Amino acid sequence: MADATTRFLEDLDRREYEPLLAKSSGSLRLDLHEGAQTTHWLLRIDRGRVRVSQDDREADTVVGVSPALFEDIAAGREGGVAAMLRGDVTVTGDLRLLLQVERLFPSHPDARGPNSPYRRMRAEREVQ
């Protein structure tokens, strides 16, 4: 598995509670497709409490993406919504949940927009 992907998802699981998802509940499954192989990551969210596993279970939202593209999204080199609008990411189910989770991803250091304040909040939390 790609380094940024694993780091991002394992860090999310270790935090257990994410204030940015305090009003969110549901499940989101990431299907990382590479040829005939698919790696699954399941995020279960209950009003900010987050659990991450590699279960292949039904979910409210299912996101299909290549491992390389998700690596870029997890590292902040690529925007998830932009990739979805280009058709490089497929989404079935509750799009609202994906948009709420998308706020957790780092943005490019030069980015200006909604992720910038969240990136600063995460950086401040990591320093403490």
Burial 7-40 (b: 16+ CB within 10 A, else e): ebbeebeeeeebeebeebebbbbbbbeeeeeebe
Q: Which helix (H) or strand (E) holds 42?
A: strand 37-46
Q: pLDDT band for position 114 (50/70/90)?
A: low
The predicted-structure confidence for 46-105, as pLDDT tens digits, reads as follows: 999 999 999 999 999 999 999 999 999 999 999 998 999 999 999 999 999 999 999 999
**Which pTM does this prediction carry?**
0.81
